[in-house]
Amino acid sequence: MKTIAIDFETANEQRGSACSVGLAWIEDGRVTRVEERLIRPRDMRFSGMNIAIHGIRPEHVEDAPEFPEVMDEFEEDFRGATMIAHNAAFDFSVWRASLDLYRQSYPELTYLCSLKMAQRIWPHFLSHRLNLIAEHLGLRFVHHNAAEDAAVCAAAAIEMARAVKAHAVHAIPALIGMRPGRLTARAYEPCTCRKG
């Protein structure tokens, strides 16, 4: 079972303005591969607030491929994978909005939200933001760099699997009352946790 962490950064407040994607592959309880790609948004409008968060400027992406070409590179990796993102509602809304913008169909995959998982597994944490989870786990990273965010999401998910004695990250939901999200060619189902 393939598990891949994903993180998007956006150029502005529009969800379809992805300007970077980071991916981290989890195999046998460890992160085995990390990739980052810059993306040229269709609308090259970058907001000052977004630039302040991730540091990506229009000149950094002017020669980068657009969203479909970037994501096509990983099409085989995504097929049959369990994806995971920290605050998956955001990252999957970026993915869906970008696909909608280019009139492309959604891939078929299952996904998990490591933010919801952390809230359930580590309820005593004062915050479940990715940078604070990283600090708790002793992980150093550059926050809001898509590759580093994806890698820390993956590393945190591995630690969560250990915490609940799951044999793999994709086995966590059954142990914590989580229903994985689904993305299909026809539908989108959010990742949810049972109350209580």
The tens digit of pLDDT for each residue in 138-176 reads 998 888 999 999 999 999 999 999 999 999 999 999 999
CA distance linking residue 74 with residue 123, whole number of Å: 34
Q: How far is CA 10 from the centre of its chain?
A: 13
pTM of the model: 0.96
CB 149 within 8 A of CB 141: yes
By three-state DSSP, how is residue 17 classified?
Answer: coil
CATH for the stretch 3-190: 3.30.420.10
Is the confidence at residue 196, as pLDDT, over 80? no
